[in-house]
Structure 1
Amino acid sequence: MLSGVLRLQDYLLRKPKPVHDDCIDTKWTWFKNCLGALDGTYIKVREPEMDKPRYRTRKGEIATNALRVCS
């Protein structure tokens, strides 16, 4: 299965395009020369009972969302 996906990667996977310095879209201002970002990484945390509602995810877990960007 993996070798089949690897053979078809040019058709199945899209290569990221960097955000160029001359980009005028304001939502990408802070991501110049970045290829992409990974979002949605939840890290489970232990919090006191009174703070748990702040960290509750839509699935009911107590976690915080981590966003990481690298260039």
Structure 2
Amino acid sequence: MSKPVPRSLPPIRRARRGRCAVGRHVAEPDHVTDDKGLVRSRCQLCGADLVRLVGRSWIVSGRLG
């Protein structure tokens, strides 16, 4: 019988297009809504600026416009 291999966390990779360096963006709990109806926050893991429309998913703010 072979020994079980201990599970470990995957290494932190460089950020790919639209992805957090750790894997998936996690928005901070405090959100700010601006006058255009956009909800703004930051990623808890990498600090990226995140934006979303009400009822939509989070996107990185640099991808707008």
Tell me the TM-score normalised to structure 2 length.
Answer: 0.27
Higher helix content, 1 or 2: 1
Max radius of gyration: which structure?
1
